Structure 1
Amino acid sequence: MTKRPSKSITAAFGLANTVPLRPDEQRATEGKESPLPAPIGQRSMLTPGVIQASQKSISDLRQERDRLKALVEQGGTGQDLDPDLIDPSPFRDRLPDDDGQEFQAFKEEFVSEGQKLPILVRVDPENPERYQTAFGHRRTRAAREAGIRVRAVVAELSDRDLAIAQGVENDGRRQRLSWIERARFAADMEAKGLKARDIRAALSVDDPELTRFRAVIGALSMEVVEKIGRAPKAGRPKWVSLGKLVADSPEAGRVVDETLAVAKVSSLSSDERLDSLIKALRLPGTSRRTDHDLDDGKGNRIGTAVFGQGTIKLSLAPKCHDFSEFLKDEMPDLIERYFSQRRAE
């Protein structure tokens, strides 16, 4: 009976242990067992490494990725798949490039020089006849458009393993994820139930950065992010600035829609679209938010009132939560006084 591979990211990289070691590595590993991989079943699953993914550091995983690449460059294993059977990762990260010429050049090189590295996929948990990509989206797309098969390593990966493999691979690419792509990736992982520690591992970020990702994605809809694009030159400050401007302005939704709807904006690069939005939201009159601390008349703070253009938001201390009921009862009289005052003016 064939042994099933463990559901570990290490399984995806276990074959990398067959790459010849450097002399210093050989001395460090003398006398230690180094299990060789073996294809398993029709899908050529890979054997697991000795250490489970949950015990491995991101540095370890990067080294395993590099070993996998080195092995394949030396003629490593894999199997040819129909790219039409391969779907994207369930965790979205990359947004479309501003210029399709770069991908066209990549595709031409892919076809003319052949596939140098395999993609990493898993069997779709919902459909055993299809696959999902951990990394290699561009290679899969190039093969699909060229009408050729794509060489792939198939491994059993949990959602966590797939996300970490995807994050590690992205971190090692020449064209890394832009800041907003990383925020989008984090939001997708969180929406699908991954724990914060796994999201941090996949993206190599700390808690403050994860909090900033949440704040910006929370202020902007995913639709707006996709309309702006990946903005490769824009780092955290611009996106955080945009998030705050949107959160602080009651008119933000209208301004964003109107700015992005202008025909000439679509011809701009994603970085220029981002700059256009920030500029539009900073125009005088766009944001009229004022914050007021509330106290009980004796100097004791009981909450905050945020007044915007057409909006009011109250945040009250726990001991004053019943004030909302009081305000609701008083609202008819307040509205009557308001209109009486306006009629008298």
Structure 2
Amino acid sequence: MARKDLISFSSDEDGEIQGDPNKSDRPLAGITPNRRSSSPVGGIAKTLGSLSSQMDRASELERQLLEGQKVVELDPSQIDDSFVRDRLEADPEVERDFVQQIDEHGQLVPILVRPNPAQKGRMQVAFGHRRLRAARSLNRKVKAVVRELNDEQLVVLQGQENSARTNLSYIERALFAARLEDQKFKRNVIISALKVDRAAVSKMIKLIRELPVELIVAIGAAPGTGRRKWMELAELAKLVDWKPLREMLSADNIAVLTSDERFEFVLRSAKKAIKPKKPKMVVQHVEHVPVTIRSTKSGTTFTVNGAKAPGFDEFLKAQLNSLYADYMKERGE
């Protein structure tokens, strides 16, 4: 199914939301960027532009989706989360700040929900999960627009709204892609939801299949960590027992670190846990001579059987200078 059949707003050839030159520049109360590391992020995150551009796109996306729709107030207890989770556990401090802003300024931007197809009389959120959590925390009703959406439309809107508003980290996007595939969505739907090409989606899903999800969850979103670093960890996880690494993350002094710091801790620990391979050794026995020769890339050892040839070792020592001179002479040196 083509993307234009999944969603009601127009798109250009690259899949970006068409902007409205007359759109409002109103601020979005309660919408603030996460407090994330200033370190470079992965390649996908870098392509999404500045924060102000993201918020503009998010505002325009929501304006097009919600314009002309009736805004109603719903009891948060009657709204279920999306059937596909797109984020790892949120930073508690960021969540508290978000709830405080909603409490002080109110909810100016409604969330988008649909009638829950699995349970009559209940709703299911398409986007606005953080605003929904804030309303639950504040024990107040949430402003929402209700639309009929099928599963494909919901996940595409969910993914695109997240990309436009606050970037998911690389590993969150990869998990979202893998979860969509687990839900039997076709690749073209996953591509539309994440707004990346087919090759990028394949790499995301491959990573999740190779790296233990329990370890990913324990590390967290790691917004400053891109694909190459995660692929490096996935390769190391094949060589070491990752369960002790997972257990180490629960230690008090590690749990308080940022998710990017936890990632680096796991990466360093995995590298240290790799046992160096013993050099391959070739053992030779010389016929009629009580000597065993052991050879590796780094050198050769001659072992004399003292029981069979007592004193032969001392004889060889005495002949070493003469033997080495013959060796050098043969080499022309």
Which structure is higher in RCO with an 8 Å CA cutoff and minimum separation 6? 2
Q: Which TM-score applies when normalising by structure 2?
A: 0.63
Aligned length, in residue pairs: 234
Q: Is the 8 A contact 2:245 2:266 kept in 1?
A: yes
Distance 2:170 2:253 in 1: 25
2:245 counterpart letter in structure 1: V
The equivalent position to 2:251 in structure 1, one of 262, 266, 272, is 262
Q: 2:139 matched to 1:150?
A: no
SS in 1 for 2:86: coil
Q: Is the 8 A contact 1:9 1:165 kept in 2?
A: no
Q: 2:124 matched to 1:132?
A: yes
Q: Is the 8 A contact 1:180 1:230 kept in 2?
A: yes
- Superposed, which structure 2 residues align to 1:211-250 within 5 Å? 211-247=202-238, 249=239
Q: 2:88 matched to 1:95?
A: yes
Q: 2:155 matched to 1:163?
A: yes
Distance 1:286 1:255 in 2: 15
User: Counterpart of 1:81?
Assistant: 74
Identity of aligned residues (%): 36
Deviates more, 1:217-226 or 1:193-202: 217-226
Q: Against the structure 1 CA distance between its residues 286 and 277, is the aligned structure 2 distance closer, same or farther, given a 3 Å change threshold?
A: farther
SS in 2 for 1:129: coil
Distance 2:158 2:141 in 1: 21
Deviation at 1:79, TM superposition (A): 0.9
Q: Against the structure 1 CA distance between its residues 121 and 286, is the aligned structure 2 distance closer, same or farther, given a 3 Å change threshold?
A: farther
Distance 1:287 1:210 in 2: 34
Q: Against the structure 1 CA distance between its residues 287 and 132, is the aligned structure 2 distance closer, same or farther, given a 3 Å change threshold?
A: farther
Deviation at 1:172, TM superposition (A): 0.8
Q: Is the 8 A contact 1:255 1:280 kept in 2?
A: no
Q: Is the 8 A contact 1:123 1:129 kept in 2?
A: yes
Deviation at 1:71, TM superposition (A): 8.6
Q: Is the 8 A contact 1:122 1:154 kept in 2?
A: yes
User: Counterpart of 2:172?
Assistant: 181
Q: Against the structure 1 CA distance between its residues 259 and 68, is the aligned structure 2 distance closer, same or farther, given a 3 Å change threshold?
A: closer
Q: Is the 8 A contact 1:259 1:280 kept in 2?
A: no
- Superposed, which structure 2 residues align to 1:105-120 within 5 Å? 105-120=97-112
- Superposed, which structure 2 residues align to 1:188-203 within 5 Å? 188-203=179-194
Aligned CA RMSD, in angstroms, stands at 2.9
Structure 2: segments with no counterpart, 5+ residues: 11-19, 23-55, 280-333
Deviation at 1:153, TM superposition (A): 1.1
Cα deviation code 1:203-237 (max 9, x no counterpart)? 01122222221222112232221111101111111
Deviation at 1:149, TM superposition (A): 0.6
Deviation at 1:109, TM superposition (A): 1.6
Q: Against the structure 1 CA distance between its residues 283 and 67, is the aligned structure 2 distance closer, same or farther, given a 3 Å change threshold?
A: closer
User: Counterpart of 1:205?
Assistant: 196
Distance 1:204 1:141 in 2: 26
Find runs of 4+ consecutive structure 1 residues off by over 6 angstroms: 62-65
Q: Is the 8 A contact 1:215 1:243 kept in 2?
A: no
Q: 2:63 matched to 1:69?
A: yes
User: Counterpart of 2:133?
Assistant: 141
Q: Which TM-score applies when normalising by structure 1?
A: 0.61
1:122 counterpart letter in structure 2: R
Q: Against the structure 1 CA distance between its residues 263 and 167, is the aligned structure 2 distance closer, same or farther, given a 3 Å change threshold?
A: same
Q: Against the structure 1 CA distance between its residues 283 and 135, is the aligned structure 2 distance closer, same or farther, given a 3 Å change threshold?
A: same
Distance 2:138 2:93 in 1: 16
Deviation at 1:143, TM superposition (A): 0.8
